[in-house]
């Protein structure tokens, strides 16, 4: 797209299936769309009532640039109650979504040429968020047969003097895997040895089905080396509210405040009021949500393992994404995704969108009910390869 009025960075378009999902979803009248991770369950009515009550009471002005003081206090309280972590007010920054948080974090920590290790498979915006801020992406491969855990020898082999940070995402999108405590403890030793930062994309913390989520920052000596990115989108079904937060050392939070002045100034006030209520009532709000998605994930994995050309090696550990191995088809991820769309009228995403480790997989979002998932796998069973 050569155009003198457009930055040369965008003259070369990078093809992406993810960017075409809405077109593909309309290809057939009976498409079942399992491509986008937007939860189907409605946002809790109490969250909505509280947010709009505050709006009618006048909470519609600019918020404090660092975030609503009440929300920051609730975030600090949350970390103390859930993880026994002491988070100071100057270690918290409220953002308009986790995506913006990641972009601002990369802007705050990277110098041109700094290397950021992305654990593959990874969330698709990560590379652009790194590269747009002058960083260089270094991919760390993980394997399904290793439960997508980080192999420390493999990690050590790609660390250089320019390595600045490693991004982790657990429970993970797209793999649904969760880093074990043993893996995180081993990672902490490597991080300390090489004086690295860890950017922890803690977006699906509630959806850890087998073990309670443990923040990497809670490990001994890691709080000062970790930047935690949180969001209310998935944990509270608030995707449209666009509100998240960062917990990080005070010096980084201060720099984010400077960056924020030329970006968004403050997160949406009404969304922050909704977030306050969500945190205060998290137990009652989240319990049925977690149970519903866990049931769906286990159902989908069981059905997948009964179909000859697909498999899921480990029981689902977290998130609401099922990463299905389709290597037995002999097709690439994109080829398999397109054949599934054409033959079964089910829209998935190819694993190759998520880095090198994703090739040979498709991702489905269990953001439809069991009845619809049954229809999906009934269609899969009729396919031939």
pLDDT tens-digit map of 22-35: 777 777 889 999 99
Residues 220/191, Cβ–Cβ less than 8 Å? no
Burial 236-273 (b: 16+ CB within 10 A, else e): bbbbebbbbbbbbbeebbebbeeebeeebebbbbbbbb
Residues 278/236, Cβ–Cβ less than 8 Å? yes
Instruction: Provide CATH 3.90.1150.10 ranges for the chain.
Output: 8-43+284-381
Determine the pLDDT at residue 2.
Answer: 81
Determine the pLDDT at residue 15.
Answer: 67
Domain covering 46-282, topology: 3.40.640
Instruction: Provide CATH 3.40.640.10 ranges for the chain.
Output: 46-282
Domain covering 8-43+284-381, topology: 3.90.1150
Determine the pLDDT at residue 105.
Answer: 98
> Measuring CA to CA, which residue among 268, 255, 340, 359 is closest to residue 71?
268
For 207-226, what is each residue's pLDDT tens digit?
A: 999 999 999 999 999 999 99
Those residues of the chain that have pLDDT short of 70 are 1, 15-19, 21
Q: Determine the Cα–Cα distance for residues 326 and 309; give it in Å rounded to an integer.
A: 6
Residue matched to tokens 């918290």? 92
Q: What pTM value is reported for the model?
A: 0.94
Distances (CA, A) of 276 to 54, 207, 243, 320: 11, 20, 11, 24
Residues 162/114, Cβ–Cβ less than 8 Å? yes
Determine the pLDDT at residue 21.
Answer: 67
């Amino acid at each position: 797209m050569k155009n003198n009025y457009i930055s040369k960075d965008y003259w070369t378009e990078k093809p992406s299936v993810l960017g075409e999902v809405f077109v593909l979803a309309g290809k057939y009248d009976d498409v079942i769309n399992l491509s986008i991770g937007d939860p189907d369950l409605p946002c809790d009515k109490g969250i909505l009532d509280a947010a709009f009550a505050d709006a009618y009471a006048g909470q519609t002005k600019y918020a404090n640039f660092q975030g609503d003081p009440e929300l920051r206090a609730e975030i600090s309280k949350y970390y103390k109650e859930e993880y026994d972590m002491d988070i100071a007010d100057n270690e918290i920054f409220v953002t308009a979504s986790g995506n913006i948080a990641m972009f601002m974090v990369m802007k705050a920590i990277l110098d041109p040429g700094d290397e950021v290790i992305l654990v593959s498979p990874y969330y698709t915006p990560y590379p652009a968020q790194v590269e747009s801020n002058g960083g260089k992406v270094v991919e760390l491969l993980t394997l399904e047969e290793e439960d997508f855990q980080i192999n420390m020898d493999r990690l050590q082999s790609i660390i250089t003097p320019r390595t600045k940070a490693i991004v982790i995402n657990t429970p993970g999108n797209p793999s649904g895997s969760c880093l074990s405590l043993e893996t995180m403890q081993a990672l902490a030793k490597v991080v300390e040895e090489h004086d690295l930062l860890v950017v922890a994309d803690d977006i699906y913390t509630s959806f850890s089905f087998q073990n309670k989520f443990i923040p990497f920052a809670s490990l001994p000596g890691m709080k000062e080396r970790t930047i935690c990115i949180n969001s209310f989108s998935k944990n509270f079904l608030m995707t449209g509210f666009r509100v998240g937060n960062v917990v990080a050392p005070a010096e980084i939070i201060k720099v984010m405040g400077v960056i924020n002045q030329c970006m968004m100034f403050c997160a949406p006030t009404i969304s922050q009021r909704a977030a306050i209520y969500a945190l205060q009532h998290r137990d009652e709000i989240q319990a049925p949500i977690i149970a519903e998605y866990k049931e769906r994930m286990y159902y989908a994995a069981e059905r997948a393992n009964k179909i000859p050309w697909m498999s899921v090696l480990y029981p689902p550990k977290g998130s609401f994404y099922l990463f299905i191995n389709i290597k037995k088809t002999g097709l690439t991820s994109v080829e398999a995704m397109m054949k599934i769309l054409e033959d079964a009228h089910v829209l998935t995403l190819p694993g190759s969108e998520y880095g090198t480790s994703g090739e040979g997989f498709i991702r489905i979002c269990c953001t439809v009910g069991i009845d619809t998932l049954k229809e999906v796998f009934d269609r899969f069973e009729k396919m031939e390869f």
